[in-house]
Structures are given as structure tokens and as C-alpha cells.
Amino acid sequence: VTQGLSAGRVQSVATRLIVERERERIAFVEVAYWDLEGIFDPGSFDARLVALEGRRVARGSDFGADGKAKSKDLAHLDEESARGLLERLQGATFTVRSKDEKPYTRKPTAPFRTATLQQEASRKLRYTSQTTMRVAQRLYENGYITYMRTDSTSLSQAAVAAARKQVTELYGADYLPPKPRSWDRKVKNAQEAHEAIRPAGDFFRTPNEVRDELNRDELALYELIWKRTISSQMADARGETVSLRLAAASTSGEDVEFGASGTVITFPGFLAAYEVGKDEDGDEDQRPLPNLDEGQAVETKELTAQGHSTSPPPRYTEATLVRALEERGIGRPSTYAAIIGTVMDRGYAVKRGTALVPSFLAFSVTELLEKHFGRLVDYEFTARMEDDLDRIAAGDEGRVKWLRRFYFGDGEPDEAGLKALVGALSEIDARAVNTFPIPGAEDIVLRVGRYGPYVERGEERASVPPDLAPDELTLEKATELLAQPSGDRELGVHPETGRQVTARTGRFGPYVTEVLPEDDKGKPKTASLFKSMSLDTVTLEDAVKLLSLPRTLGPDPSDGEDVVALNGRFGPYIKKGTETRSLESEEQLFTITLEQALALLARPKERRPRAAASGPLRELGVDPITEKKIVVRKGRFGPYVTDGETNASLRAGDEVESLTHERAIELLADRRARGPAKPGRKRTRA
């Protein structure tokens, strides 16, 4: 695909999961559907149209990814039919057709293991998996929690006794179940050498008792672990769920039925201490409904027609990706944070909010592995390998024998070894692996090239913006990209190298570059345009001079060390060893002489005046940890978010305009978890 990439037993499977979800989003067909919603008295409760003439009214879950209804016996309303029904229901009398009451019971969840801690910290604290493990490591090393890399949900007898004692002290005896709770492990490939993650010691310290000893992120994670541990030994939450069906007849005689449901918690139980976060909004509606009897009339306060559309499957977040890997028995708790970090570091995915968005590069890598190394990224094969490694670690299988079988195969056609798989690398069609169709386009394709993704139609090409997600590259978008001016200008042939020189617009501004032949795997020489130059007027002569930088002025007669003129991030300068001096203009790079440079180096270095602080680019809300306002600012090294105490640079895929409050919280938490920056090493002259 390209140089500098990697594949791995779990890393590649994780990337494949992210890519497959994006493929589902690309293939998804959106469907519009309508229904009616009403507000009724007494109690001003909401109800929604659920049936029309005995047929259930279609909801989003009734349609497949292909846009087709899963059942034929549905009433699929469009806007016209919904608004027509609304008119025919004006003045209709609604009565309670049925009332269903059921007891409600909800049990607490098990204490944390590594994977569930990462998932819950992602949902509730907006921590990345790596941030969670860094903070947990510090809590463990300083004696606040037990070991944080574990598959176990069990607690020691001392821990159970400590939790039950604290429940009684803080909430009362009513909140304590008669017997201690025990938790069974239900995930494949469990390794239970350690107990669940819990507060350390035989007596648990409350968050208030350690508040002055921990920083904000440590305290937030400790409180999460403490609450989860305590709640796991508390009584069930109890209540009552009520479902109502309201009936009416339209002016045309149509039988309509509205539905409403609600749950009333009569005893909170463990919910008094802790409630599990959710990846998506559930259907459970915890709201009280009025006490109504069957046959009782209700007053219609408002009826409205509401339009909806089905949504594609959500992208993975770190929490849901960890859960997906764990459910398949792939990877280990101690590796999930590192795996997700590697996937992002390799450029296979970026964060958009909390969602993991795959890059087109990830599509190419996954395509290559699926077509030519399919067995190595097969989910079941990877899970079986976990079992094999466990048996080898336990001494139940010989490692040499297993490695021999893995490399040479065992003779079965479907069990080819690694040697056979890598033996045909020369037969791989790199162009085919890096080419993808665009839905609905017959003559336009997407290709992933050396310089990034681009769309192609015949001889026409156009680069794909780096912030465009794969599911957003539609036929209309591809056509729009091809219709835009490319921005590339061919300036001519370099007189020394014989290569074509082109002026282009890149991510960091306009630049000139040499165009290498297709079979040349080297890196082309590039140079940014001076501020006084423009893409429209730069000449071949200008480009050749720019590509000649950095320019060696000659050796210093006193010690023979070369003096060099070059353009840097903060402007033009000269350099000799570790000594640097700024130049007044970029044009001086071509005119300054060795004598002038030596005279400049002989002067004391002048400190650059600090620019006045600019106002924030955006305001994003309040950080839940520090309770201070988060803003986006423009910094020396690019945009960053800050709460006034911690600064965190935006990363690949983060854009100032689209940055969300949740993503900003995550960036700040990750930066705080890494601790203060280490001071640079002082260089000493020989």
C-alpha cells in the first residue's frame, strides 16, 4: 500500500471492524417515515401513534439497512398520509383502551474489570483507553486501587465485607441485600489471576477522604471505581412500569391507537450510588404516568405530525470497539489501549467527536489483508489463536510445534501456513487493492496513492480532502471535486534533475515539488513558497531556487564548520551547529554571504518579542473535571483547547469549526493524564 505502515494480530482485526462499520454506513439506504405525537391530560403526558386500523405503525427499527421494511404488515406513513390523518383526528375523543402494569426490578452491575473500566470511563469521563490506563496505573502504584489489568469480576471476602459495611453506614440497612453478591465471568478467554478493580485495602476510603491527595483526573476515576464497587453489593432497584394504549376514531372511521409507557422507581437501591452509562439512548422511559382507568377519557392538548428518517449504524467509539473485540474473544485487557493507540498513530482512524472514523488508507490495508491474507484477519481465527497462546502459556501445547504448524500449515487447503501466504506477494495487484468504487458512479473511482486519496475519471484527477469521511464520498461529492480547479501548475522541467516541477496547494499552504516516476519509491523534494510568492505567478526559476534550499554558504574559517541558510517554521534563519540567527526576509536566503552570516552569528542572540494574545477561536462549554470554561485558541504550533490550566493540541482529524465539547473534554483529559511535559535535555558544547 505504502511505506511506514504495520499490521498485527489484533491491530488489523480492530481496523477491519472500523472499516466494516464504515462500509455498512456507505451501503446504508435512508428511509423517511412519519407518525403522530400527542400531549394528553391529566398530567400532560406524551403518547405516540403506534397502530392504524390494527396495523403497527412503522418505526426506524422496522427497516433494514437496504431501506426495505422487515415486515409487510406495517403501516408506513409518509408526510401526506400523516398530515391527512392529523386533520381527520381533530376533535376526536381519546379513551384508555388498555392499561398494563408490571413490577420493575433492576440489578446492579459487576465490579470493574479492565475492559469495562475503559468503556465506562469513555462514556462518563470522556477518557480515551490510554488515558484511563495511565490514570489507573498511578492510582495502583500509589496504593489507591487494586491491580488494573484483570479479567475478573470477583471480589475477595475482605472486599465484600468492606463494601457491605460501607453500604450500611452510608445508605442504611435497607440498601443491603440479605446475602453478598457474587459475579460470574462471561467473556471468552478470561484470565482471572487478579480480583476485580476496586479501592485498595480492607476498608474503603470514600472519594471525599482522598480528595486532597489526588488530582482531578485521578479523583474522578477513583470515584467511578469506588461507586461501582459499592453499588455491586447493594440491593436491586424496584419500581413499576405502566403501559397505556389510547384509542380514538378519525372522521373517516379509522381506528387509531396511541401508546405511552413510563417507569416509576419506588426504591432506588443501588441507583442511589451508581448508574451505568449507555453508548446509545435506550427505550426505557423513566417518567411517571397519571393513574388512569380503562375506558377513561383523556383530553387532547396537542397533536402534531412528526417526520423521521432512519440512521446508519453508529461508528465505533473506543468504548464500543473494546466491547466488540472482547465479545469476539480477541485481545487482552492490557492490550486494548495500546491497540487503539496504534490504529490511530498509523493513520488508520481519526476521532470525530468520540467516533472512530476510518481513513481511506485503512480501506486499502484492510482490502489487501482480506483478499490476500484473509485467514490472518478472520475473527474466529484470531480468537482461536488467543486460546492457542493460553495453552502454550499453560504448558499444554508446545510452542515450536505450534509455530511450525502456523508457518508451514497442516496440509489442509483452508489451513495454509504463513509461508504459503507470503510466497505470492509479487502477484498482488497494488492498483486493484488501492481502488474502490463509488456508489452510483460508473466512471468514477477512488484511488489511494502515495500522496493520499483521490478520485479519478479517465484522465481527470482530484484530491480528496483529508477531513472527508469515506461515507461522505458520494457520487455528487466526487463530481464536485472533479469539477473544481486542481490548483496544480506544471512549471517545467528541472534543468539539473530532468524531472517535472509542479506548484501545488497542500495542507500547510502552497509549495513546489518534483514529480517522481511511478516506479520511484523515493521521497520527492518539496519547498514552501515564500510569503511574497503566489501559486499563480511562481515561475520555474523561482521553483528551482526554492528547491535548492537549504543553501550551504561555506565553512567558518575558524573551525571549518558549515554555515547554512534555511527556511523554518518561524521564518528564515542561518545556522552553524546549534547556533541560529533569524534573517529579516526570506529573500535573504539567496543573497546573504558567508561573511555577512558570520557577522550575524557573532552578535548576541536577540529575543523575539512576544505577540499579544489573541481572543479565543471558539468557546465550547465547561470542563466537568475542572468546572472551567473550555476555549479553542490559536497557538504557536497550531490550534489547541484549554481550560486555563491545561493546554491540549488538536490532533489529526480535529477541525476548529467542527470540534465538539465532548472531544475537547477528551483531549484535555488525555493531556492531564500524561502529566507535565518533561524538560528538554540541556546541550553542552564540547
* 633 in Cβ contact with 610 (< 8 Å): no
The pLDDT of residue 140 is above 60: yes
429 or 487: which leads in pLDDT? 429
- Per domain, the residue ranges of the chain are 11-28+317-431, 32-107+238-309, 114-235, 434-483, 489-546, 549-602, 618-673
Distances (CA, A) of 126 to 182, 221, 547, 619: 29, 11, 45, 18
Closest CA to 51 of 284, 289, 246, 243: 246
Closest CA to 490 of 474, 470, 513: 513
In this prediction, residue 571 carries a pLDDT of 84
Mean pLDDT of 42-53: 94
**Least confident range of 270-284, 493-507, 616-630:** 270-284
Distances (CA, A) of 607 to 27, 414, 425, 580, 581: 57, 68, 56, 12, 10
Q: How far apart are CA 451 and CA 460, in angstroms?
A: 16
In this prediction, residue 610 carries a pLDDT of 55
Distances (CA, A) of 330 to 116, 130, 333, 667: 15, 18, 10, 27
Distances (CA, A) of 584 to 90, 353, 560: 78, 42, 26
Alpha helices in 311-378 (DSSP H): 318-327, 333-345, 360-372
The pLDDT of residue 684 is above 50: no
Q: Which residue has the cell 510445534?
A: 401
Q: How far apart are CA 586 and CA 536, in angstroms?
A: 19
Residues 6+ apart with CB under 8 A from 649: 635, 637, 638, 639, 640, 667
Angle between helices 216-231 and 157-171 in degrees, nearest 10: 90
The pLDDT of residue 608 is above 70: no
User: Under CATH, domain 32-107+238-309 is a member of which superfamily?
Assistant: Topoisomerase I, domain 3 (2.70.20.10)
**Least confident range of 404-413, 454-463, 498-507, 613-622:** 404-413
**Least confident range of 24-28, 503-507, 554-558, 561-565:** 503-507
DSSP tag of 199: B
Residues 6+ apart with CB under 8 A from 337: 118, 128, 129, 130, 132, 133
Question: Where is 351: in which H helix or E strand?
Answer: strand 349-352
Question: Where is 407: in which H helix or E strand?
Answer: helix 399-408
Distances (CA, A) of 413 to 337, 416, 417, 599: 36, 6, 10, 75
Label residue 596 by pLDDT band (50, 70, 90).
very high
In this prediction, residue 662 carries a pLDDT of 83
In this prediction, residue 676 carries a pLDDT of 66
In this prediction, residue 561 carries a pLDDT of 92
Q: How far apart are CA 323 and CA 521, in angstroms?
A: 39
Label residue 54 by pLDDT band (50, 70, 90).
very high
φ and ψ at 288, to 5 degrees?
A: -80, 145
In this prediction, residue 335 carries a pLDDT of 83
In this prediction, residue 282 carries a pLDDT of 46
Q: How far apart are CA 281 and CA 276, in angstroms?
A: 12
86 or 656: which leads in pLDDT? 86
Over residues 163-195, the pLDDT tens digits come to 999 999 999 999 999 999 988 665 555 555 689
Mean pLDDT of 597-615: 74
The pLDDT of residue 1 is above 80: no
φ and ψ at 609, to 5 degrees?
A: -65, 140
In this prediction, residue 271 carries a pLDDT of 93
In this prediction, residue 427 carries a pLDDT of 73
Evaluate the CA torsion angle 531, 535, 537, 541 in order and state its sign: positive
* CATH architecture type of domain 11-28+317-431: Orthogonal Bundle (1.10)
In this prediction, residue 665 carries a pLDDT of 87
Label residue 685 by pLDDT band (50, 70, 90).
very low
DSSP tag of 644: S
* 100 in Cβ contact with 52 (< 8 Å): no
Instruction: Choose, from 140, 147, 379, 573, the residue flagged as catalytic.
Output: 147
The pLDDT of residue 229 is above 70: yes
Over residues 193-205, the pLDDT tens digits come to 689 999 999 999 9
Mean pLDDT of 48-65: 94
In this prediction, residue 284 carries a pLDDT of 46
348 is catalytic: no
196 or 277: which leads in pLDDT? 196
Average predicted confidence (pLDDT) for the chain: 87
Q: Count CA atoms closer than 13 A to 483's CA, side-chain side.
A: 6
> Strands, DSSP E only, in 361-499?
435-437, 445-449, 452-457, 460-463, 489-493
Over residues 409-464, the pLDDT tens digits come to 776 656 667 777 776 666 777 788 888 999 888 889 999 987 789 899 988 888 88
Over residues 284-327, the pLDDT tens digits come to 456 778 889 999 999 999 999 999 999 999 999 998 999 899 88
Mean pLDDT of 552-572: 89
In this prediction, residue 607 carries a pLDDT of 63
Mean pLDDT of 556-569: 89
Percent of the chain past pLDDT 90, that is, above it, reads 50
In this prediction, residue 603 carries a pLDDT of 87
Percent of the chain past pLDDT 70, that is, above it, reads 91
- Which grid coordinates belong to 593? 554571504
Neighbour tally for 146: CB within 10 Å: 23
Q: How far, rounded to the nearest angstrom, does the alpha carbon of residue 458 sit from its chain's CA centroid?
A: 35
User: Under CATH, domain 114-235 is a member of which superfamily?
Assistant: Topoisomerase I, domain 4 (1.10.290.10)
In this prediction, residue 16 carries a pLDDT of 94
